[in-house]
Amino acid sequence: MKVNVRLFASYREVVGAGQVLLDLPAGATVRDAVAALRRQHPRLSDIPELVIAKNRDYVGLDDPIGDGDELALIPPVSGGAVRAGDRILVSGDPLSIDAAIETVSGRDTGGIVIFLGTVRDASRGTAVQHLEYEAYPEMAEAKMREIAARLEGLHAPLRLAIHHRVGDLAIGEIAVIIAAAAPHRAAAFAAARDAIDELKRIVPIWKKEYTDDGAVWIEDHA
């Protein structure tokens, strides 16, 4: 059976391609696919633990796979276009604070909390020249919608927008916008904080820092 494996960020650079087609026997598991991939690309064996998605959801190594499944190797996330006006947005274009506010505003809104993540000029004691963001866009959008749905239910009535930029970003540019609107400020503050924390934890978006010392994929949650 044929299984397509997608690779992102540092894993894509290790393999030298964004996709690899595997020919596996019937009844194979995710673990079998990883073993086959490591045989083809031995440098992946230097990565002790891999996080895998199957058909855009996280799975374990012993999960079965079928013909035509899509697997993705997910580096640790360090955080991704869809329709204009959508509350969930992964875009290569500059982000708009006004657009995010518009998507969550309503007659019942008593407060709107905005979180902006911007590109700073230094990291780990080194001057930063610019950043590059990369996403697994289909899965990133799905996970962002899961975050929004959970928090909107937890803090109802609430509307949440999550907009993330991809591509090259200069110092000072906006990388992410969280907009949370609710009748009362407490719910809006709580939802905005939870949303950015969850986004950085589970959404497959990665950043590469270009500094005076070179370029490196950042595999933490700073």
pLDDT tens digit sequence for 76-117: 765 433 333 489 999 999 999 999 999 999 999 999 999 999
pLDDT at 220 (0 to 100): 55
pLDDT at 112 (0 to 100): 98
Neighbours of 126 (CB within 10 A): 13
Question: What's the number of domains the chain is made of?
Answer: 2
Q: How far is CA 105 from the centre of its chain?
A: 25
Judgement on whether residues 213 and 125 belong to the same structural domain of the protein: yes
Nearest to 119 by CA among 47, 78, 169: 169
Judgement on whether residues 189 and 116 belong to the same structural domain of the protein: yes
Model's pTM, two decimal places? 0.76
pLDDT at 82 (0 to 100): 36
Residue 122, in any domain of the structure: yes
Query: Which residues form the domain of 16?
Result: 2-74
pLDDT at 81 (0 to 100): 37
pLDDT at 83 (0 to 100): 39
Helical H runs in 41-136? 97-104
Under-50 pLDDT residues of the chain: 79-85, 221-222
Judgement on whether residues 41 and 126 belong to the same structural domain of the protein: no
pLDDT at 78 (0 to 100): 55
pLDDT at 77 (0 to 100): 64
CATH number of the domain encompassing residue 12 = 3.10.20.30
pLDDT at 84 (0 to 100): 39
